[in-house]
Amino acid sequence: MKTALQILNDYWGHASFRPLQEEIITSVVNGQDTVALLPTGGGKSLCFQIPALIQPGICIVISPLVALMGDQVQQLKDRGIKALSIAGGITFDELSVLLDNAKYGNYKFLYLSPERLQQEMVQNAIRQMNVNLIAVDEAHCISQWGNDFRPAYKEITLLGELHPYVPTIALTATATPAVLQDTIKSLKLELPAVFKASFVRDNLAYQVYYEEDKLYRIQQLLKANAQSAIIYVRSRKATVETSNQLNTMGISSTFYHGGLAPSEKKKRLEAWKRGTVSTMVATNAFGMGIDHAHVRYVIHTQLPESMESYFQEAGRAGRDGAPARAVLLLQEYDKILVKKQFVESLPTPTQLKELYRTLSNYFQIPYGEGAFTSHSFSFTEFCQTYQLNTLLAYNGLQSLDRLGIVQLSQEFGRKSLVQFIVPSTALLRYFEKNMIASVIGKTMLRIYGGIFETPSKINLELIATKTGQSVATIIETLQAMERDGLLEMELKITDATLTFMVPREDDKTINVVAKQVLALNQTKADQVAAVLKYAMNENVCRMVQLVSYFGENNTSPCGICSVCATVEAIPNKKEISLLSEQILALLEESALTSREISERLTFAEPKVIHVLRMLMDRERIQLNFKNQYQRI
C-alpha cells in the first residue's frame, strides 16, 4: 500500500504537504470523523482525495457547486484517477448507467449534489457500493447560520445510516465558531477531530479605499504591475466594459463570466494563467477551484455580499506566499446599493410562491410532476415574458436553488434541434457548390445517424471541434441551409439550465420552507451589516477585523493594511490648517474630484483625503451629482 506522501508525489507531483494536510489525512485514514477548516488555497480537496486513494473502495463526495464538481472530476481524470459526477438533466437510463459504473467500474470518486442524494434509486445504489469515505465539501451549507445555507444538506446524514462504519470528513474555508459547532451537530459527528488553520495571511495586505474614480485607482495600482490580477465586478456587462477600458489604458486584460461558452472560458483562463494577459475581470463566479497561486492583486469594485465571500475571493491573492494585495474600492452610494441588492430585494415567502408558480407555468409543469426534469433557461427572456423585477426574480431563483426546490446551472449552452428535410442526393448536390456547407453537413451526417428521419439534438461545440470552424460560422451556415429549404432547425441559445428538484405542489412547496426563507433573509441582512461595519471601520487593522469575525482573537495588527499604513498618513494640525485653506481656495474656482485636488497639491493623497472628509463632516464642502467636491 502506498503512503500518503507517495500518492501526493505520484499524482500531484508535490514533495511535501501544506500545513495541517498530513495530520488531517492521517486522521481520516485512521477512521476518525474529521472536520477541516482551511482557508482558500489551503488544499482542502487533497484531504479527502488522498485517503480515498490509499484505501480500497469509492469515496462519496457531496458538493453544492455543480460547476466545481465537473472541474474536480476532470482534474482527477487528467491525473488518471477514475471519477464521475451525477448532475441534473439526465434521463433515468443515463442515471442507472452512471450508478452501475460507480458500483462495478472500479471508480474512486462519485460526486453528488445533496438534492440528488434524496433519490431512492441513488440511495439503493450507494448502499451496494464499497464506500471508503464520505466527504462533505462546503460543509457550512448545512448550518442555517452559515453563508449559503442549503436545507438539502440536512439529508446528508442519510449516508451515515447507509454506511455507519465509514468515516466522514467535513470541509469548509469559511465558518464562524457558531457555524462550526452547528455544522458538527447537524452532521451528527461524534467527537470528531477538528483541524483549524489560522485565518491570518501575513503576506496579504487588505486595503479599503474610498474612490470616486475607481478605474483611475485600478490604473494606478496595475500600470506598473505586469503580474497577475483579478478584478471582481458586479455584472457581466461590467466585465466587458472594464476589460476594454483597461486594454485602452495599456493594461492587458480579458473578461470571464457565466455567459461565455465553455471553450471560450477555457481559452481566457489559460491565457491569464500563462501570463499572456495579466488581468482577469470577472464576476464572483470566477475563482472556485482554479489553481493559480501567483495572483498579486485581487480588486473588488463593489461591496461583497458577506464577509465569508470576501475572505474567499480576496484570499485568491498571494497563495504562493509572496506579497500580495486585496483591495476594496467603494463610494458612498455602494453602501446603499449593497443593501438594495442583497437585503431590500430579498423575496418574502409570498413572493417566492408567486415566482415558483410562474416558473412552473413557464415550463408547463403539471401539478404533482416535474421532479428532476431539466430545461434550457434564459433568465432575461423569462423576466421579459412576465414583466418581472429582474433583481427580485434573480434573488428568488437563488433562494429556490438554495432551498433545494430547483437547481440552477449557470453555464452557457446551445440546445439545438436539426432535421434534414430533402433527400440525401439533393443535399449532396448542394454540398458540391458550397465547400463550407459540405464540411459542416457531412460531419453532422457522420455524427448524427438519424438526422433525416427525426429532429436530432446537435452539439455545436463538438461540430466546431470536428470541422475546425467557429460556432458562429456553423450557425450562419445552418441558417443559410434553412433558408434554402434543406433543413428545419430550432436553435436555442441559453445562459442556464434549470432543474426542478421536487414535484410541483405550488403553495405547499413553499409553505414547507417558509420559516427557512425568513431565516435566510435575516442571515443575509446580518451578513451585509457585517460587511458595512468592516468597510467603515478605519480604526482597527483590516486583518484583525477579518480574522476576529471568524473567531480568531488576540491577533496583532498586520502593519501593512490600509488602516495600519494610514496611521503614518494622518496630517498634523499645521498640515490640516494649510490643506484646508488650499482645498477651499481651489474649490472657490470650480468643483473638483479628489483626484484633481490631489494632482494640484503637493501633499500625499491620503492626507488630502483625510482633510476632505474632515471638511465634509464640518459641512464646509459637499459632493455633487458628478462626485465632485464643491464649497457650501
Q: Three-state SS for 617?
A: helix
- Last residue of one domain, picked from the residues 491, 514, 543: 491
Number of domains observed in the structure of the chain:
5
Question: Which residues touch 516 (CB under 8 Å, ≥6 apart)?
Answer: 144, 149, 151, 403
Residue 565 domain-assigned (yes or no): no
Beta strands in 266-415 (DSSP E): 279-282, 295-300, 324-330, 373-377, 406-409, 413-414
Residue 584 domain-assigned (yes or no): yes
Give the range of the structural domain holding residue 459, as residue numbers without chain letter: 416-491
Residue listed under C-alpha cell 430579498: 346
Report the pLDDT value the prediction gives residue 411, as an integer from 0 to 100.
53
Let me know whether 42 and 171 are in one domain.
Answer: yes
- Give CA separation, 346 vs 350, 372, 437, 526, 530, in Å: 11, 26, 50, 13, 17
Q: Three-state SS for 434?
A: coil
Give me the DSSP letters along 66-108. HHHHHHHHHHHHHTT--EEEE-SS--HHHHHHHHHHHHHS--S
Let me know whether 225 and 363 are in one domain.
Answer: no
Phi, psi angle pair for 375, to nearest 5°:
-145, 140
Cα separation, 396 vs 405, in Å, equals: 11
Let me know whether 144 and 232 are in one domain.
Answer: no
Burial of 263: CB neighbours in 10 Å, binned 0-12, 13-18, 19+: middle
Q: Three-state SS for 111?
A: strand
Residues in the chain, pLDDT under 50:
412
Is 475 in contact with 460 (CB distance < 8 Å)?
A: yes
Report the pLDDT value the prediction gives residue 412, as an integer from 0 to 100.
47
Residue 295 domain-assigned (yes or no): yes
Report the pLDDT value the prediction gives residue 415, as an integer from 0 to 100.
61
Nearest to 303 by CA among 257, 258, 339: 339
Let me know whether 45 and 174 are in one domain.
Answer: yes
Torsion of CA 560, 562, 565, 566, to 10 degrees: -170
- Give CA separation, 488 vs 414, 418, 471, 494, in Å: 16, 6, 18, 19
- Give CA separation, 148 vs 1, 379, 407, 527, in Å: 39, 21, 14, 11
- Estimate to the nearest angstrom the gap between the alpha carbon of 396 and the chain centroid: 18
Report the pLDDT value the prediction gives residue 206, as an integer from 0 to 100.
96
Report the pLDDT value the prediction gives residue 89, as an integer from 0 to 100.
60
Residue 184 domain-assigned (yes or no): yes
Let me know whether 231 and 250 are in one domain.
Answer: yes
Residue 222 domain-assigned (yes or no): yes
- Give CA separation, 263 vs 137, 259, 274, in Å: 27, 12, 16
Report the pLDDT value the prediction gives residue 289, as an integer from 0 to 100.
57
What CATH number corresponds to the domain at position 57?
3.40.50.300
- Last residue of one domain, picked from the residues 196, 220, 239: 196
Q: Three-state SS for 500?
A: strand
Residue 598 domain-assigned (yes or no): yes
Is 167 in contact with 136 (CB distance < 8 Å)?
A: no
Give the H/E segment covering residue 417. Answer: strand 416-420
Q: Three-state SS for 456?
A: strand
Cα separation, 333 vs 341, in Å, equals: 12
Let me know whether 618 and 509 are in one domain.
Answer: no
**Coarse DSSP helix, strand, coil percentages of the chain, rounded to the nearest 5 percent:** 50, 15, 35
Give the H/E segment covering residue 369. Answer: none
Cα separation, 232 vs 304, in Å, equals: 9
What Rg do the C-alpha atoms of the chain give, in angstroms? 27
For 293-342, the pLDDT digits (tens) are: 889 999 999 999 999 989 989 999 998 888 899 999 999 899 999 999 88
What CATH number corresponds to the domain at position 345?
1.10.10.10
Residue 534 domain-assigned (yes or no): no
- Estimate to the nearest angstrom the gap between the alpha carbon of 28 and the chain centroid: 28
Report the pLDDT value the prediction gives residue 473, as an integer from 0 to 100.
87
Let me know whether 595 and 518 are in one domain.
Answer: no
Let me know whether 313 and 378 are in one domain.
Answer: no
Give me the DSSP letters along 178-230. HHHHHHHHHTT-SS-EEEE-----TTEEEEEEE-S-HHHHHHHHHTT--SEEE
DSSP state of 569: G
Relative orientation angle of helices 542-549 and 514-536, to the nearest 10 degrees: 160
Question: Which residues touch 523 (CB under 8 Å, ≥6 apart)?
Answer: 144, 145, 149
Residue 349 domain-assigned (yes or no): yes
- Last residue of one domain, picked from the residues 330, 349, 374: 330
Residue listed under C-alpha cell 423585477: 389
Let me know whether 389 and 504 are in one domain.
Answer: yes
Let me know whether 405 and 444 are in one domain.
Answer: no
Let me know whether 32 and 143 are in one domain.
Answer: yes
Cα separation, 528 vs 545, in Å, equals: 15
Q: Three-state SS for 216?
A: helix
Let me know whether 77 and 99 are in one domain.
Answer: yes
Report the pLDDT value the prediction gives residue 492, as an integer from 0 to 100.
67
